[in-house]
Structure 1
Amino acid sequence: MRISTGQMFHQNTTNILKKQSDTNQILDHLSTGKKINTAGDDPVGAIVADNLKQQNNLVNQYIKNVDYATNRLSIAESKLGSAETLVTTMRDQFLRGANGSLSSVERQMVADEMRASLDELISIANTRDESGNYLFAGFKTNEQPFAFDNNGEVMYSGDSGVRQSVVAQGITVGSNIPGDLAFMNSPNPLGDYGVNYLSGQQGDFTLTSAKITNPAAHIEDTYTVNFVANGANIDVEVFDSSGTLTTTIANFDPATPISVNGIDITLDGNPTAGDSFTIEPQENISILDSLNQAIALLESPDSINTPDGKSKLAQLLNNIDSGQNQVSIARGVSGNSLKALESISVNHGEEQLINNSALSTLEDLDIAEAISEFEKLQLSLNAVSSVFGKVGSLSLFDYI
């Protein structure tokens, strides 16, 4: 078959350019260490590699969210642990101050110690993170959550918000502990109503329960319970907040609850004629207020050893125990979240390892094989170029 000179030049030029292109492609792969630099190198592999990279980017964001939540919860857990220890110390101080053998000066010294501890506890509740945000304020991170009001009671200015961090596909974890959960909303040990023992009490008794037992008959109000002499016995009269007599119980038996408007009130001990107390709705109590009231009781040396003072002492100890348990519950919530985050973090690490291994299989270049291929292409290119140079220089006039 005859081959024209133009055709020969075209074929050889095409072969040389192809060899040069293949050689340059190998050089590109060697320079990056990857066998897929563009989608043209391996269209299917490029799509799979891109999906794996996107998945890794998503996992990296999850890991950042896990780190953020872990950091905040670790601080919260540590602070709640300190608060738990401090409440235990203050309870012991309260019991020491309630010792009847102490003088008023010694009791005031104990109260001063407790006041300093309470200030420290409130400082813990007002902890800020590294960004200056209040840790126990819920969503209101820019507003100090705990402070005393004009009546000396501790007020909470935060909310119940829990900031959720997306830490995995379809999984969120709360990254904060709201202050009301930790310090304000401990269950009332009496049940649904709180008690206020009145001065002048002579009998030795305490309330052990004030619960709503008949919701259909319940009327929420503040009730005053009076014990009235009835010969050798005692009657009970219960008045509502307007002073209206709502219930009368003849021949009171301490073993039988006082029932009024769907509420059952249980007493331990023996009240005497003339004794009185009030109850008001109170589902939750604050450990901060309970400790503040304990300090106030110690600072009233004439009240601590009276019958009503002893009743208040017993009730405050129960309130403090409930508050301490609530702090422990809040600490447990943060601990459980930290444990979950640790497990999720391990899973993300394993996922990254699998993705990176798959990417390596798809993209990483076999250097030795690539160098060998490069040398073959280079040798072939040199050979083609040399032969083409000699053939292209032939002329009929050389043989005439």
Structure 2
Amino acid sequence: MRISTGQMFQQNTKSILNNQSAANKTLQQLASGKRVNTAGDDPVASIAIDNLSQKNVQVSQYIKNIDYAKNHLSIAESKLGSADSLMTTMRGQFLQGINGSLTAADRQIIADEMKSNLKELLAIANSQDESGNYLFSGFKINSKPFAFDTSGAMVYSGDSGQRTSNVSTQVQIGINAPGDSAFMKAPNAMGDYGVNYLASQQGDFTVDSAKIVSAGSHVPDTYTFNFIPNAPGVDLQVLNSSAAIVATVVNFDANTPVNFNGIEVKLSGIPVSGDSFTMQPLNEVSIFDSLNQAITLLEDPSAANSPQGKSKLAQLLNDIDSGQNQVSIARSNTGTGLKSLESISASHDEEQIVNQSALSLLEDLDYSAAITEYEKQKLALNAVSSVFSKVGSTSLFDFI
């Protein structure tokens, strides 16, 4: 079979180009250190490499989110810890201040110390992060959450929003402690109602609990408890806000709970004729209001050691304990979040190692095999080029 000069040149040129392309591909692999640089190098491996790379990018983002969440939870945990310690100090100061042997001036000094600590507690509750966002304002990160109004009551300007961060597939972790749940919504230690002791009180008694025991028959209202004479003891009349009698207890005994309108009230101590107090619905108490009321009690010389003051004292101590426990719960929740983040972070680190190992197996180049292959390709290219140069320069006239 005869081969034309054109065919010869075409075939040899094609062979040289193919060998050059193979050698260039091997050189590219040697330069990058990767066996698979394009999908054409290994289509099946390329798909797996893309999937693993996407997973690594996702895991890297999760790790960044975890670092962000750790930072915010760590700050919140630290601030709540400081608040908890400050409350312990203020509770001790309050107990010191109600000592009957202290003078009015001594109590005022303790009250002033408590005021200073209360300002510090308020500053902690209004803490900001490194970006100037308020830690305890829920979603309203630009709103200062806590402030006392003109009447001395605490007003919360944040919301109950729980900000979250995506830290794993279908896993979100809260990165803040809403201020209302941490500082404003402590369960009322007395139950479902709050008590207002009156200055006219003469007997030594306290309300231990006031709870709803029958939701179906419960009638929420402000109730007045009047103790009226019935020698040798007293009777009790309970009136609603319309001054209508809703319960009467003849020969009142503090050992027996008072039940009316789905409410059970337990008292301790000995009331006397003429004593009275009111009761209104109250499910939650604010640690700020409790501490503020404690300071007010210390600053009133006539109230501190009065029957009313002693009854109020027992209630305030319970409210302060409940408020401090609520802050401790919020702190515990942030600690639980931090512990979860540590566990998830460790899992992501392991996942990255496994993914990187799989990527290495799929795409990393075996240098010894690649160099050997390149030498073979170079030898073949040189051989083809040499043959082509000799054949291409051959002419019939050389044999005439």
Q: 2:155 is matched with which residue?
A: 155
Alignment of 1:9-88 (within 5 A): 9-88=9-88
- Once the two structures are TM-superposed, the CA of residue 233 in structure 1 deviates from its matched residue by 2.1
TM-score by length of 2: 0.98
The residue correspondences of 1:116-127 to structure 2 (distance < 5 A) are 116-127=116-127
2:361 is aligned with 1:357: no
CA distance in 1, matches of 2:295, 2:5: 111
1:6 matches 2:6: yes
For 1:97 and 1:116, the matched residues in 2 are separated by 15
1:172-191 matches, cutoff 5 A: 172-191=172-191
Amino acid of the structure 2 residue aligned with 1:237: Q
Instruction: Indicate the SS of the match to 1:224.
Output: strand
Q: Which residue in 2 is equivalent to 1:232?
A: 232
CA distance in 2, matches of 1:130, 1:175: 14
1:92-171 to 2 correspondences below 5 Å: 92-171=92-171
**C-alpha separation in 2, matches of 1:308 and 1:47:** 79
Q: Specify the alignment match of 1:294 in structure 2.
A: 294
Task: Kindly report structure 1 stretches of 4+ aligned residues shifted beyond 6 Å.
Answer: none
Letter paired with 1:202? Q
Alignment-derived partner of residue 196 in structure 1: 196
State the Cα distance separating 1:377 from its structure 2 match. Answer: 1.2
Equivalent in the alignment of 1:281 = 281
Q: Deviations over 1:278-318 (max 9, x none)?
A: 11100011111101110110011111001110111111111
Cα deviation per residue 1:12-54 (whole Å; 9 max; x = unaligned)? 2111111111111111111211111111111111111111111
> Offset at 1:245?
2.3
Alpha-carbon shift at residue 97 of structure 1 (Å): 0.8
DSSP 3-state at the match of 2:301: coil
Stretch of structure 1 that moved more, 236-245 or 289-298: 236-245
| 2:209 partner SS | strand
Q: What does residue 367 of structure 1 align with?
A: 367
Question: Which amino acid counterpart does residue 268 of structure 1 have in structure 2?
Answer: S
Distance 1:109 1:233 in 2: 41
Question: What's the CA shift for 1:5?
Answer: 2.7
Question: Counterparts of 1:162 and 1:216 in 2: how far apart (Å)?
Answer: 33
- 1:249 to 2:249 alignment: yes
TM value normalised by structure 1: 0.98
Q: 1:203-249: CA deviations, max 9, x gaps?
A: 11111110111222211011110111112120101111222222221
| Further displaced range: 304-313 or 163-172 | 163-172
Distance 2:82 2:371 in 1: 63
Q: By how many angstroms is 1:7 displaced? A: 2.5
> Which residue identity lines up with residue 21 of structure 1 in the other structure?
S
Q: Once the 2 structures are TM-superposed, how far is the Cα of residue 381 of structure 1 from its aligned partner?
A: 1.0
Shift of 1:356: 1.0
Aligned residue type for 1:360: S
2: distance between equivalents of 1:384 and 1:8? 12
Residues 138-197 of structure 1: per-residue CA shift (max 9 Å, x gap): 111111110001110111111111012121111111111101111011111110001111
Q: Report deviation, 1:3.
A: 3.2
SS in 1 for 2:190: coil
Percent sequence identity is 62
Corresponding residue for residue 319 of structure 1? 319
For residues 188 and 133 of structure 2, what CA distance do their matches in structure 1 show?
Answer: 30
The SS at the match of 1:303 is: helix
SS at match of 1:194: strand
Local SS of the residue matching 1:113: helix
Counterpart amino acid of residue 166 in structure 2: V
Alpha-carbon distance in 1 for matches of 2:207, 2:320: 16
Match of residue 344 from structure 1: 344
Equivalent pairs, count: 400
Of residues 28-37 and 315-324 in structure 1, the stretch that sits farther from structure 2 once superposed is 28-37
Name 2:331's counterpart in structure 1. 331
Residues 82-110 of structure 1: CA deviation (Å, up to 9, x unaligned)? 11100000000001111111111111000
Match of 2:89 in 1: 89
Q: Which runs of 5+ in 1 are unaligned?
A: none
